[in-house]
Amino acid sequence: MNEVVCGDSLDELVLFPDEYFDALVTDPPCGIDLRKLTWDTDYGGRDGWIEAHRQIFGEVLRVLKPGAYALVWGIPRTAHWTATALENAGFEIRDVVTHVFGTGFPKGESLDKRIDRAAGMFDERPVIGEKEVLDYGANPEDYPTLGGKGVRLPRKIVPLTGPASPVAKRFAGWQTSFKPAGEPWILARKPHGTSDARAIIEHGCGALNSPECGVDGTWVRNVVMSHAPDCADDACAPGCPQLDLGKAARFFPIFHHSAKPGAKERHAAGSNTHPTIKSIDLMRWLVKLITPPGGRVLDVFGGSGTTGVGAIMEGRQVVLIEREPGFADICRRRIALAEAEMGEDLLL
Ligand SMILES: C[S@@+](CC[C@H](N)C(=O)[O-])C[C@H]1O[C@@H](n2cnc3c(N)ncnc32)[C@H](O)[C@@H]1O
């Protein structure tokens, strides 16, 4: 039975017996004050964050079968905290699956502007032209409803300025961070205390689904890729990672959808305001990779339920735990729609 539980995972996991789930696929907070979301940082700094997540992952360890795999999202800056929390909870860290995409946007002001500001010369920056920028308007909360394939976001024209101070001129065009193009999914495993083969015989989980997730049906590579939002079936748009890879792209699983879902996918079961929604295609692949057919997958940071939708579409059973009642409601709607769409194909 698929289930959405509303509550804190640390409290709610006691409802489940030992060795109940075949896999964990989850997208936890990342501790960087992501878009000022309280769930992300309210643990009292690095050590508090790791300890709070160790406690949750400790309970997850109990409810997973021996040898079961976990795929846990991280952001490059703090994925080591997530991995530490998993390891401190008793998981073995096995690998990292890198999800490559072309939709990430660098955040913040350009370096030469920041240097001019710090040097007190911002007002002296010469106007060297004009440029078009996205106009999010006065209400940033509209953000989740913007975008999607074929939707032209509002734009405005602003003056383009050049560096003023000598240091800003020297570092014009340099940056202090990357354009995000890859995110890690940490592959961890509950120790089984025996050989892999014996653990799989005894518990029926703990293998990687090469036939369905590997490009050539043998080995799964630990890189997975998404198209840019404007790619068509027969031609990629600028910014798509496939264009950079050229022929080598054939070695990697590539989703014909962007890393961030468009409005149609986001709102398919009614309004979905979750700010960090993942794409269904990605979650389907991750669930399918580590959960045996018909198996039971757990997500302890359910959000708006994309792991659940992916699991149902892949014929797996799912339990989602989500702390915020509004998001838990969205999970329930999306799960119900996925179940209805799968109909008789559901292997429950
Ligand atoms: C990064 S989001 C997951 C988004 C999800 N992958 C999706 O596609 O919608 C993390 C979610 O975990 C929830 N959360 C944070 N701490 C939690 C906890 N201790 N127990 C249950 N849910 C929690 C937050 O409310 C948030 O919705």
Q: Which residue out of 11, 39, 284 has the highest number of ligand 1 atoms within 8 Å of its CB and is therefore the one to mutate? A: 39
Residue 278: CB within 6 Å of ligand 1?
yes
Q: In angstroms, what is the span from residue 301 Cα to ligand 1's centroid?
A: 4
Q: DSSP code of 172? A: T
Q: For residue 146, what pLDDT is reported?
A: 45
**In terms of pLDDT, which residue wins out, 245 or 323?**
323
Confidence (pLDDT) at 136? 66
Rounded Cα distance between 79 and 347, Å, is 34
Contact 323 CB / ligand 1 (< 6 Å): yes
Comparing 299 with 263, the larger pLDDT belongs to 299
Mean pLDDT confidence for 199-206: 98
Residue 86 has pLDDT above 90, yes or no: yes
pLDDT digits (tens, 9 = 90+) for 273-316: 888 899 999 999 999 999 999 999 999 999 999 999 999 999 99
pTM for the structure as a whole: 0.88
Q: How far is CA 267 from CA 27, 187, 326, in A?
A: 20, 30, 14
Domains in the chain: ranges and CATH: 3-103+180-345 (3.40.50.150), 111-170 (no CATH)
Q: Is 270 helix (H, G, I), strand (E, B) or coil?
A: strand
Residue 157: is its pLDDT beyond 50?
yes
- Establish whether residue 276 lines the binding site of ligand 1, counting it when its CB lies within 6 angstroms of any ligand atom: yes
pLDDT tens per residue across span 173-183: 999 999 888 99
- Distance from Cα 161 to the centre of ligand 1, integer Å: 40
- Stated as kind and residue range, the H or E segment containing 50 is helix 45-63
222 vs 214: CA distance, rounded Å:
10
65 close to ligand 1 (CB < 6 Angstrom): no
CA-only gyration radius of the chain, Å: 22
- What's the pLDDT band for 57 if we cut at 50, 70, 90? very high
Q: How far is 83 from 157, CA to CA, in rounded Å?
A: 43
